[in-house]
């Protein structure tokens, strides 16, 4: 089998592997629904520049590449979970493929093992089933590092000028996916070249042509939206960069001890089933990570192992220090972890014992995805949509969540607008009580209101002031649904 056929076979196999049950589960709020809603709005309004949750709320917390990818999947496969998660499946498959290409250069003795370890590790496999930025970000960071490995392998960008360009294209796409976090592998690259004493190569990686690709791909969207709204400069720099790193404003586990609770268990158990094999074969005492002299000696003996360790340790240290912390933030680190594991455990994929072990594990992974699709979950927007369809004829044009974060995924299932409304004038972002009452009166036709049971009494007081008659539609989990009505009945509030 020639190289092209091998590459194509690996890519198709990885894609088929990850797509099993990929669209069987409904969208889980809040993240999956929110990302999907923005993509649906882009398709509906044919505006792919300004991310919108609805007509009233823009959503600039992330650059648009993830929304574009989700929208493309919906165009190809339709308004369903398969279409929404298609981009994740493609990103996962290409990440596996790039790990294989990288291993051909840095670990040719067993080049398939790192890709196999990544594909079957429980955390990357499971993460690819959730609609977030992280699986896509992992692809672009892996592409960037592959570009670096490709040019460094030749020791000069003159022999392989594409390596530098691939690296900066990868970083540009990573920046367009999640902003500054997409550049974290660059710090590992710089540290590696400094420790290697290769300052000339350090200068060469900042190739003007490569930087031009990075700036165009990574910053063009930012320039366009900032020209439309100058306030976004402050928002991007202060709210989405400085505050996420230095403050707990976004409520993403800012406590000092949270990295140990969130990241360390994932790093250990997220590589199952390979965790045990790795720790059985590694002698941790020889890794003297806090000695520069050890790093300089180690980099001479095992340069690529050293680079992989830097690629893991430097981003992880930054994630520990930053005040915004979520499990999926460290997903991209499983790429160097997989390569590092493969180099140290000497995985023999031809062994009958290993093959049996792997088949059992793959069946287990598929079972996890199947169970996730079947277990009832109170934050599943698909089940809420089914309830709304069964109790509302015709379907609402708009679902308004009062004093609660919406189930944004309803926009996919009901083809409707999803909004949120607060009755607390102190939190209403310049919306006075009079404004809220006026808005309620304007939303009389084709609107369904969703109110949490625990907030029902306080919300209904505001509705009474608005003189909008409501008819109770029904209850679903901890929600009560109402629609405006002019028909007198015992259900009127």
Q: What does the pLDDT read at residue 430?
A: 46
| pLDDT above 90 coverage of the chain, percent | 62
Overall average pLDDT of the 448-474 stretch? 84
pLDDT-based confidence at residue 426 (cuts at 50, 70, 90): low
| Average pLDDT, rounded, for the chain | 88
Mean pLDDT, to the nearest integer, of 377-382?
A: 95
Domain shared by 95 and 191, yes or no: yes
Q: What is the pLDDT confidence band of residue 300, given thresholds at 50, 70 and 90? A: confident
The reported pLDDT for the residue numbered 184 is 97
Q: Tell me the C-alpha distance between 454 and 465, whole Å.
A: 20
pLDDT band at 241 (very low <50, low <70, confident <90, very high): confident
Q: What is the pLDDT of residue 157?
A: 45
pLDDT value at residue 464: 77
pLDDT at 287: 66
- Answer yes or no: do 359 and 466 share one domain: no
Is 359 in the same domain as 436? no
Instruction: Say whether pLDDT at 248 is over 80.
Output: no
Q: Compute the Cα dihedral for 220, 221, 226, 228 and give only its sign.
A: positive
**Same domain, yes or no: 212 and 357:** yes
Domain boundary, last residue among 372, 395, 423: 372
Provide the pLDDT for residue 401: 93
Q: How many domains does the chain have?
A: 2
Q: In the prediction, which pLDDT does 425 show? A: 59
Within a domain: residue 211?
A: yes
Give the helix ranges, DSSP H, for 322-453: 334-345, 352-374, 381-391, 410-414, 433-442
pTM for the full predicted model: 0.92
Is the same domain home to 439 and 338? no
Tokens of 473: 């539609």
Q: What confidence tens digit (pLDDT) does each residue in 146-168 have?
A: 999 998 866 544 556 789 999 99
135 in the same domain as 34: yes
Q: Which of 281-290, 341-350, 374-383 has the lowest mean pLDDT?
A: 281-290
> Could you tell me if residue 490 is inside a domain?
no
Residue 243 lies in a domain: yes
Check whether residue 254 and residue 387 sit in a common domain. no
Out of 96-110, 241-255, 365-379, pick the least confident.
Answer: 241-255
**Do 198 and 279 sit in the same domain of this protein?**
yes
In the sheet with 470-476, reading across from the earlier edge strand, the strands are: 417-421, 398-402, 447-452, 479-484, 470-476
HSE of 273, CA atoms in CB hemisphere, 13 A:
15
pLDDT, residue 487, reads 38
Are residues 275 and 139 part of one domain?
A: yes
pLDDT at 294: 74
| pLDDT for residue 486 | 45
Query: Averaged over 68-97, what is the pLDDT?
Result: 97
Question: In this model, does residue 493 exceed pLDDT 80?
Answer: no
**pLDDT classification of 1: cutoffs 50, 70, 90:** low
Signed CA dihedral, 116, 121, 122, 128: sign only = negative
pLDDT recorded at residue 313: 94
- Say yes or no to pLDDT of 429 above 60: no
From 337, 372, 407, the end of a domain falls on 372
Structure tokens at 24: 């069987």
pLDDT of 143 > 70? The answer is yes
Quick check: is 489 in a domain? no
Q: State what percent of residues in the chain have pLDDT above 70.
A: 90
Who has greater pLDDT, 265 or 462?
265
Quick check: 32 and 133 in contact, CB under 8 A?
no
Q: Is the pLDDT of residue 195 over 50?
A: yes
CA-to-CA distance for 170 and 147, rounded, in angstroms?
8
Q: Is residue 491 in some structural domain?
A: no
With respect to residue 125, please indicate whether it lies within any of the assigned structural domains. yes
For residue 423, which of 456, 462, 450, 478 has the smallest C-alpha distance? 462
28: DSSP letter:
B
Residue 7: how many other CB atoms lie within 10 Å: 14
Higher pLDDT among residues 291 and 290, named by residue: 291
Same-domain check for residues 196 and 100: yes
What pLDDT, on a 0 to 100 scale, did the predictor assign at position 438? Answer: 63
Residue 228 lies in a domain: yes
The pLDDT tens digits for 9-46 are: 999 999 999 999 999 999 999 899 999 999 999 999 99
CA distance linking residue 104 with residue 98, whole number of Å: 10
Q: What's the rounded mean pLDDT across residues 437-441?
A: 64
Q: What is the secondary structure of 200-224 as a DSSP string? A: HHHHHTS-HHHHHHHHHHHHHHHHH
> For the residues 209-225, what does the mean pLDDT come to?
96
Final residue belonging to a domain, choices 372, 406, 423: 372
By residue range, what is the domain housing residue 431? 381-484
Classify residue 56: in a domain, yes or no: yes
> What is the CA 412 to chain-centroid distance, rounded?
19
Q: 301 and 164 in one domain?
A: yes
The stretch 406-418 carries a mean pLDDT of 96
Residue 296 pLDDT exceeds 80? no
Q: Which comes out higher in pLDDT, residue 357 or 282?
A: 357
Q: Answer yes or no: do 311 and 436 share one domain.
A: no
């Amino acid at each position: 089998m020639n190289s092209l056929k091998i590459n194509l076979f690996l890519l198709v196999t990885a894609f088929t592997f990850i797509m099993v049950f990929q669209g069987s589960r409904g969208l889980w709020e809040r993240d999956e629904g929110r990302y999907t809603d923005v993509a649906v709005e882009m398709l509906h309004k044919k505006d792919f520049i300004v991310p919108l949750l609805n007509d009233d709320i823009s959503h600039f917390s992330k650059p648009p590449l993830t929304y574009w990818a989700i929208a493309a999947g919906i165009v190809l496969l339709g308004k369903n979970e398969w279409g929404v998660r298609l981009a994740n499946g493609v990103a996962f498959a290409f990440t596996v493929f790039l790990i294989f290409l990288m291993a051909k250069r840095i670990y040719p003795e067993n080049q398939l093992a790192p890709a196999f370890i990544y594909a079957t590790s429980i955390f990357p496999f499971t993460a690819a089933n959730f609609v977030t930025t992280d699986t896509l970000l992992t692809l672009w960071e892996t592409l960037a590092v592959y570009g670096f490995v490709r040019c460094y392998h030749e020791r000069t960008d003159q022999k392989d000028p594409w390596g530098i360009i691939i690296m900066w294209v990868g970083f540009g796409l990573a920046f367009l996916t999640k902003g500054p976090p997409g550049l974290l592998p660059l710090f590992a690259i710089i540290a590696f070249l400094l420790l290697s004493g290769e300052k000339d190569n350090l200068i060469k990686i900042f190739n003007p042509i490569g930087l031009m690709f990075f700036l165009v791909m990574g910053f063009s969207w930012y320039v366009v939206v900032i020209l439309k709204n100058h306030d976004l400069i402050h928002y991007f720099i202060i709210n989405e960069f400085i505050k996420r790193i230095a403050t707990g404003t976004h409520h993403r586990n800012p406590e000092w001890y949270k990295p140990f609770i969130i990241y360390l268990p994932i790093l250990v158990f997220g590589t199952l089933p390979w965790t045990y094999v790795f720790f059985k074969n590694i002698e941790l005492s020889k890794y003297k990570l806090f000695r520069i002299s050890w790093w300089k000696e180690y980099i001479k003996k095992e340069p690529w192992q050293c680079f992989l360790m830097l690629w893991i340790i430097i981003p992880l240290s930054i994630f520990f220090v930053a005040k915004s912390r979520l499990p999926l933030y460290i997903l991209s680190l499983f790429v160097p972890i997989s390569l590092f594991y493969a180099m140290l455990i000497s995985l023999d994929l031809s062994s009958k014992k290993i093959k049996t072990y792997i088949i059992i594990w793959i069946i287990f992974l598929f079972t996890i995805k199947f169970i996730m699709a079947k277990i009832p979950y109170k934050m599943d927007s698909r089940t809420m949509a089914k309830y709304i369809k069964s109790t509302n004829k015709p379907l609402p044009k708009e679902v308004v969540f009062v004093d609660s974060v919406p189930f944004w995924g309803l926009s996919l299932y009901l083809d409707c607008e999803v909004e949120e409304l607060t009755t607390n004038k102190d939190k209403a972002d310049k919306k006075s009580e009079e404004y809220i009452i006026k808005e309620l009166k304007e939303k009389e036709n084709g609107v369904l209101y969703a109110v949490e049971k625990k907030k029902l009494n306080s919300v209904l007081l505001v509705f009474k002031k608005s003189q909008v008659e409501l008819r109770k539609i029904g209850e679903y989990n901890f929600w009560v649904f109402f629609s405006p009505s002019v028909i007198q009945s015992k259900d009127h509030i």
